[in-house]
């Protein structure tokens, strides 16, 4: 990785940007300035993609807003799919039996569960937590009743919604049960997510980089949360948002401004457009 003070940095050819807390402001919008800066970066021949825990259906509108025609890293890397052509480059789903075991474990706590199949969001029933998630993601909820009875094929992802402090005990228990069998992470403090062990943003980024013929040293990544750390380790240069937690910032090569202060635009201007 390239630490600040070690100059010159390479000419980056690919930038992967997280959505929530990074590219999006607190109103879940991309600012005009950020959109304009990304357009200028792309005009210089640099590829820009999105790397998010969101569903493809939730991430695609932002990619289209930016005019991106490139594979998007979605579901933490479980599905890498082109934004406009629909070509799937990479996918890794949760084995059915493990998904059912996760649901059984979570049911003991009574927390709301999201299950993702065919890029659709299924829940047992409509809850305030589910409605909040659906509004934030701009996707419909599909009530399916008992999820153990409903689930008959490998899902893309299983997600649990609960207050951050209440999730801690469940996370510790699940890491003991499923550690090594599943990739467990948090994209937001209140979202505990379960994926295939090879469904990470790093794996997704590898797929995009291989598709484009770009080495890790030519990749810049920008993120704000725990699920971004895998791609921080893989990429040549990593940037944490000013709103990221201290432990995330410590793992990055550079810390930019917050998502409320157009930190993505600041970073791209500093490292890709200045000079």
Per-block mean pLDDT, blocks of 10 residues, the chain (275 long): 53 96 97 98 97 96 96 96 93 97 96 96 94 93 96 97 92 93 90 95 97 96 94 96 96 97 97 80
Write down which residue in 167, 195, 223 finishes a domain: 195
Q: Is residue 7 part of a domain?
A: no
Which residues sit opposite 123 in a β-bridge?
143
- pLDDT computed for residue 275 by the predictor: 45
Helices (H), 138-243: 147-150, 164-178, 201-212, 229-234
Q: Do residues 153 and 98 lie in contact, with contact meaning Cβ atoms separated by under 8 Å?
A: no
- pLDDT computed for residue 8 by the predictor: 59
Backbone phi, psi, residue 72, to 5°: -105, 140
Question: DSSP label at 84?
Answer: T
Supply the range of the domain harboring residue 116.
96-195
Q: Is residue 1 part of a domain?
A: no
- Please state, in angstroms and rounded to a whole number, the distance separating the CA atoms of residues 228 and 41: 22
- pLDDT computed for residue 122 by the predictor: 98
- Please state, in angstroms and rounded to a whole number, the distance separating the CA atoms of residues 219 and 90: 19
Give the total number of structural domains in the chain: 2
CATH number at residue 142: 3.30.1240.10
Three-state secondary-structure class, residue 18: coil
- pLDDT computed for residue 7 by the predictor: 53
Write down which residue in 150, 177, 195 finishes a domain: 195
Q: Are strands 254-255 and 237-240 parallel, antiparallel or unpaired?
A: parallel
Q: Is residue 121 part of a domain?
A: yes
Question: DSSP label at 9?
Answer: P
Write down which residue in 180, 195, 210 finishes a domain: 195
- pLDDT computed for residue 254 by the predictor: 96
Q: Are residues 220 and 85 in the same domain?
A: yes
Q: Are residues 142 and 232 in the same domain?
A: no
Q: Are residues 223 and 241 in the same domain?
A: yes
pTM of the model: 0.91
Which residues sit opposite 191 in a β-bridge?
161, 188
- 256 burial level (CB within 10 Å; 0-12, 13-18, 19+): buried
CATH number at residue 77: 3.40.50.1000
């Amino acid at each position: 990785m390239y630490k600040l003070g070690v100059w010159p940095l390479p000419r980056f050819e690919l930038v992967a940007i997280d959505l929530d807390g990074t590219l999006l402001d607190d109103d879940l919008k991309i600012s005009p300035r950020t959109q304009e800066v990304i357009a200028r970066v792309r005009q210089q021949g640099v590829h820009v993609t999105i790397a998010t825990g969101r569903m493809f259906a939730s991430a695609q509108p932002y990619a289209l807003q930016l005019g991106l025609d490139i594979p998007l890293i979605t579901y933490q890397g479980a599905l890498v799919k082109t934004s406009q052509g629909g070509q799937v480059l990479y996918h890794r789903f949760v084995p059915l039996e493990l998904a059912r075991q996760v649901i059984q474990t979570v049911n003991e706590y009574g927390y709301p569960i999201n299950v993702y199949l065919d890029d659709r969001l299924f829940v047992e029933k409509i809850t305030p937590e589910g409605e909040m998630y659906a509004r934030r993601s701009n996707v419909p909820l599909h009530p399916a009743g008992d999820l153990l009875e409903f689930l008959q094929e490998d899902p893309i992802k299983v997600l649990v919604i609960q207050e951050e402090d209440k999730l801690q005990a469940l996370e510790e228990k699940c890491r003991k049960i499923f550690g090594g069998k599943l990739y467990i992470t948090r994209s937001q403090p209140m979202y505990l997510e379960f994926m295939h062990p090879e469904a990470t943003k790093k794996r997704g980024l590898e797929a995009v980089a291989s598709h484009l013929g770009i080495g890790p040293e030519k990749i810049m990544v920008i993120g704000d949360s725990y699920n971004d750390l895998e791609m921080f380790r893989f990429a040549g240069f990593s940037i944490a948002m000013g709103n990221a937690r201290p432990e995330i910032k410590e793992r990055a090569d550079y810390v930019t401004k917050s998502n409320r202060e157009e930190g993505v635009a600041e970073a791209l201007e500093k490292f890709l457009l200045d000079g």
